[in-house]
Structure 1
Amino acid sequence: MPHVITQSCCSDGSCVYACPVNCIHPSPDEPGFATAEMLYIDPVACVDCGACVSACPVGAIAPDTKLEPAQLPFIELNASFYPKREGKLPPTSKLAPVIPAPVVRRGTRPLTVAVVGSGPAAMYAADELLTQDGVRVNMFEKLPTPYGLVRAGVAPDHQSTKRVTRLFDKIARRRGFTFYLNTEIGKHLSHADLLAHHHAVLYAVGAPNDRRLEIDGMGLPGTGTATEIVAWFNGHPEFADLPVDLGHESAVIVGNGNVAFDVARILTSDPDHLAHTDIAAHALSVLRESKVREVVIAARRGPAESAFTLPELIGLTAKSDVVLDADDHALVARDLASAADPLVRAKLEILSKLGDASAPATRPRIRLAYRLTPQRITDGRIEFTRTGTDDCVGIDAGLILTSIGYRGKPIRDLPFDDDRAVVPNDGGRVAAGTYVAGWIKRGPTGFIGTNKSCALETVQSLVDDFNDGRLTDPVGGAGALAKLVRERQPKVVDAAGWRAIDAAEISRGEAGDRPRLKFTEVSEMLAAAATAPKPTVRQRLLAGLRD
């Protein structure tokens, strides 16, 4: 009964270190780890101990006998990563090599780090820092709620992926960790303010902007980006009032990565199913009135160059009605005949079995379309040319979205590479005292767990600088920082405030059998945060002694 990793794998790598026989690969020390679409369990070497199950932060691992029907393709997907062998391998105790945590050598004062952002890269960086006794991490987030794209960027029907927030909650409860939520760097505090009160400042702010499609008509009513729609689904307060018109039978998404799949899947899902997720109430209301019958996912290139990952394709085709027209079926057959890469072949084999778009649709469906280069958008219509030709193709649509990637944005007082849309760095080091991790460091690549090894590299650079005496001691202690923050932002939300918001959202969702019902306005979040119990006199005294 070997265990199997399924679609919701976040590549965190915790399972790798938990496995006593080193049968999960690629491991963080192997070259393919950063680019792997997921991790894979070797079915021959697996000894069925279950250690990986408890280690996985998103519940992506199960015995092969307990998989749901839609998950059965992952048995072969895991096995195909490994060479064919005869017989069962003998059990071993060869644990995967654990990358050692950076060791902080005590200075005159404990290492104190400001982390800007609260998504996966930020939380993993805090985790690495807090493995050392006495280290302090102050985390700053402009929203009253933490966890970045895990909260606002993971599709509502991928609840298992969102379970990684349980790990983040544990990190946030560590001794030495402090949340400063609803506090924006560049508005309430400056980079200089942070440097004055910390040994180092680590920015993990992601890549919040979309790459824009530069064609005529973008910006017309009914156009937008897939990432904006995902934020709207998820109740992000900056996108709660996004005008989304689903009154037309067709929608088009330009770009065929995983985010495009997420949006297409939600737009064609049964609202009664979505009602049991954490989808925002305003989005669910609009979806219940939707007239969308087909979502076209249009790609410039051919099937062999598809941007989506194999796990996402397996998940999409298991739950949604996905079709190709006859011309695209021919393209798939052509590419399949010449494909040498096993991963590409696996994608093409699934595509070759999709239904024909000419067949009558019995429910809302998704159509994958290839070799379409967008040219212009007019009112309710997008025009393409067949890539490499002058042949014109037009699609009428009430909603036209782009999903062609993310871009980082400049951070005040830091250098910026406009071409790569990242902060230039060397192993995460921008300058002694200033560091980056995550997408603002390496660009928008990888998965949730990829940020773990990325953050470790940055923290190692930071700790090396601290140990070598290159970092300047803060001017004041934690009390001075807390006072400054409250002077600049009286509505700051602390960890207790976040826990009160979290509890209120979960309570609101219980009546509708939902994991939570999110607040979508900052004022609502702040009202919930205000119900948190205030620290006792004893707690304040102890905090003062630690300072």
Structure 2
Amino acid sequence: MNTSRVFVFKQLKSLLRVKCSSAAPSNDLRRLTATPGSCPKVCVVGGGPAGFYTAQHLLKAHPAVQVDIYERLPVPFGLVRFGVAPDHPEVKNVINTFTQTAQHERCSFHGNVNVGKDVSVQELQQAYHAVVLSYGAEGNRSLGVPGENLSGVYSAKDFVGWYNGLPSNKDLKPDLSRETAVILGQGNVALDVARILLSPLDILKETDITQPALEALAASRVRRVLIVGRRGPLQVACTIKELREMVNLPGTMPEMVTAEFQGIAEALKDLPRPRKRLTELMLKAAQGSSEGGGAEKRWGFRFLRSPVEILPAPDVSRAAAIRLGINRLEGSGEGARAVPTGEVEDVECGLIISSIGYQSLPIDPTVPFDPRKAIIPNKMGRVQQAAGLYCSGWVKRGPTGVIATTMNDSFDTARSLIQDMETGELDTSAAKMGSQAVTPLLLKRGVNPVSFSDWKKIDTEEMKSGKAAGKPREKMLDVAEMLKAAHS
């Protein structure tokens, strides 16, 4: 952009700062601003980290943009509320930043709105200059093996949702009656699940884990958790922080197969520093397991194993074991590939949790979607062949990375959107009604949106219930209960 255009754009933004200072302008003011250069209105679909980070950057980068965040549930924050482990409260501190964004004068939160069902993406496009899809990954990747639908087999997404209070998972009732549990996958979520299964109750009682989950874990007979991966120790996907927490978990000891670490010590010198430190800690844990110990509970990695079949109990009512195919590696490092050897082994277990990844789903027939990659096809957040439509977060790039990854990714999408405003690729000249067009549609359809101040009522009730139980929070598990508190 040349110097004169930059000057004109800055002057325009200065004028808009005055005209658009109110998030909900009066009818008279709206008529005044219904001119070329009127207040850009952006809709963000999804009230999780991607949605809030996108909104945050838009509000910071443009002094006139108005942002409305639509969320399917009555409560905000997405995976920060429903995905972060209860014993990781420090990770949830980002909620403070999201709250500041939601309470910004040019931002509004609309919970209890299911986009694609209560209102279509096309209707949002008619009401806003731009729509950003940031609705995450609500689906589960299938194992694709016989028996995966047996009782006792769960996705990590559902299991995590159960102990974190996701309404759709409140009735999960996982089978914790047998000694051994098997987790398929070796990422951070897998280690979160293993840690929650084996953590002393005294630790969990001081978190915001749900009361039903706490009671189920108190009665749990799970004493051994195997964390299975298709490749080797040098390809394990967890971080050193998560591994260290497992190693230091009170009342537990590692149970590794030392033969699976053959040659790993010699490979250390050629590893990048983060991978080297992680591998050294694994080796130390493996050596500790060979020394034995009197811990009541055990956990361990199992490498070069892929699920082949879930084996049923004699009455075929539940899972009783898992058949694992034994692999060998072709190649080395991050690019090493697991190749089946044809050998198998059976592991008796009553609980099997698949932690092989979340998966985004199509939101609306009008929105492009790549079913193979399970993402919305895009270029730097711009949805391909769909002007005015953007995406950020997991639905943009797939379910990878940590919250900081999502932050940077969402900022990139916001920058693309701002750039399109500046260059004229995104036409903001015509006035748009935003939520003032959408809310009447919702009310007509029997949908009562939850504002951020309504959410604060839910928040207050949860904190109050938590305090009575000696916990930081006791989450409401039922949407109807949330709505009752919100609209009281």
Structure 1 moving runs of 4+ over 4 Å = 102-107
Other structure's SS at 2:227 match = strand
One-letter code of the match for 2:322?
I
Query: 1 CA distance for matches of 2:265 and 2:290?
Result: 20
Other structure's SS at 2:196 match = helix
Q: Corresponding residue for 2:22?
A: none
Other structure's SS at 1:304 match = helix
Q: Corresponding residue for 1:460?
A: 415
Displacement after TM superposition at 1:312 (Å): 1.5
Q: Corresponding residue for 2:395?
A: 440
2:279 matches 1:348: yes
Select 1:519's aligned residue among 473, 476, 479: 476
One-letter code of the match for 1:377?
I
Other structure's SS at 1:391 match = strand
Displacement after TM superposition at 1:443 (Å): 1.2
Contact 1:116 1:203 in 2 (8 A): yes
One-letter code of the match for 1:310?
I
Q: Corresponding residue for 1:85?
A: none
2:202 matches 1:272: yes
Query: 2 CA distance for matches of 1:455 and 1:110?
Result: 22
Q: Corresponding residue for 1:542?
A: none
Aligned-residue sequence identity (percent) comes to 38
Contact 1:226 1:263 in 2 (8 A): yes
The structure with more helix, counted as a fraction of residues? 2
Contact 1:322 1:368 in 2 (8 A): no
Displacement after TM superposition at 1:478 (Å): 4.3
2:381 matches 1:425: no
Contact 1:332 1:351 in 2 (8 A): no
CA shift digits 1:5-62 (9 cap, x unpaired): xxxxxxxxxxxxxxxxxxxxxxxxxxxxxxxxxxxxxxxxxxxxxxxxxxxxxxxxxx
One-letter code of the match for 1:372?
R
Select 1:392's aligned residue among 344, 347, 365: 344
2:353 matches 1:401: yes
Displacement after TM superposition at 1:351 (Å): 1.3
Query: 2 CA distance for matches of 1:173 and 1:434?
Result: 25
One-letter code of the match for 2:323?
E
Q: Corresponding residue for 1:172?
A: 102
CA shift digits 1:460-482 (9 cap, x unpaired): 22122223333253543543333
2:137 matches 1:207: yes
Query: 2 CA distance for matches of 1:398 and 1:232?
Result: 18
Displacement after TM superposition at 1:362 (Å): 2.5
Other structure's SS at 1:312 match = helix
Larger relative CO (CA 8 A, sep 6+): 1 or 2? Answer: 2
* TM-score (ref. length: structure 1): 0.75
2:334 matches 1:334: no
Other structure's SS at 1:238 match = helix
Displacement after TM superposition at 1:496 (Å): 1.3
Displacement after TM superposition at 1:358 (Å): 8.3
Displacement after TM superposition at 1:322 (Å): 4.2
Contact 2:185 2:354 in 1 (8 A): yes
Q: Corresponding residue for 1:317?
A: 247
Displacement after TM superposition at 1:484 (Å): 2.5
Contact 2:68 2:435 in 1 (8 A): no
Change over 3 Å in CA distance of 1:336–1:196 after alignment to 2: same
One-letter code of the match for 1:344?
R
CA shift digits 1:379-412 (9 cap, x unpaired): 2100113213333321111101111112211221
CA shift digits 1:54-111 (9 cap, x unpaired): xxxxxxxxxxxxxxxxxxxxxxxxxxxxxxxxxxxxxxxxxxxxxxxx9884553111
Change over 3 Å in CA distance of 1:497–1:385 after alignment to 2: same
Contact 2:247 2:254 in 1 (8 A): no
Select 2:150's aligned residue among 220, 226, 229: 220
One-letter code of the match for 1:169?
T
Contact 1:196 1:474 in 2 (8 A): no
One-letter code of the match for 1:234?
N
Contact 1:324 1:369 in 2 (8 A): no
Query: 2 CA distance for matches of 1:256 and 1:451?
Result: 21
Q: Corresponding residue for 1:508?
A: 465
Contact 1:432 1:471 in 2 (8 A): no
Other structure's SS at 2:399 match = coil
Change over 3 Å in CA distance of 1:528–1:173 after alignment to 2: same
- How do 1:100-249 and structure 2 match up within 5 A? 105=13, 107-131=36-60, 132-249=62-179
One-letter code of the match for 1:420?
K
Residue segments in structure 2 that go unaligned for 5+ positions in a row: 1-8, 17-35, 313-319, 329-340
Other structure's SS at 1:114 match = strand
Residue segments in structure 1 that go unaligned for 5+ positions in a row: 1-101, 532-547
One-letter code of the match for 2:379?
D
Query: 1 CA distance for matches of 2:290 and 2:342?
Result: 24
Other structure's SS at 1:160 match = helix
Displacement after TM superposition at 1:499 (Å): 0.5
Other structure's SS at 1:261 match = helix
Displacement after TM superposition at 1:199 (Å): 0.5
Contact 1:120 1:449 in 2 (8 A): no
Displacement after TM superposition at 1:256 (Å): 0.7
Query: 2 CA distance for matches of 1:254 and 1:291?
Result: 20
Displacement after TM superposition at 1:456 (Å): 1.7
Question: How many aligned residue pairs are there?
Answer: 428
Displacement after TM superposition at 1:357 (Å): 6.3
Query: 2 CA distance for matches of 1:483 and 1:231?
Result: 32
Displacement after TM superposition at 1:333 (Å): 4.3
Displacement after TM superposition at 1:359 (Å): 3.4
Change over 3 Å in CA distance of 1:512–1:477 after alignment to 2: closer
Contact 1:432 1:465 in 2 (8 A): no
Q: Corresponding residue for 2:447?
A: 490
2:228 matches 1:298: yes
Contact 2:127 2:432 in 1 (8 A): yes
One-letter code of the match for 2:55?
A
One-letter code of the match for 2:128?
H
Query: 2 CA distance for matches of 1:491 and 1:409?
Result: 25
Other structure's SS at 1:130 match = helix
Contact 2:176 2:350 in 1 (8 A): yes
One-letter code of the match for 1:293?
R
2:363 matches 1:411: yes
Query: 2 CA distance for matches of 1:440 and 1:492?
Result: 24
2:305 matches 1:372: yes
Deviates more, 1:235-244 or 1:269-278: 269-278
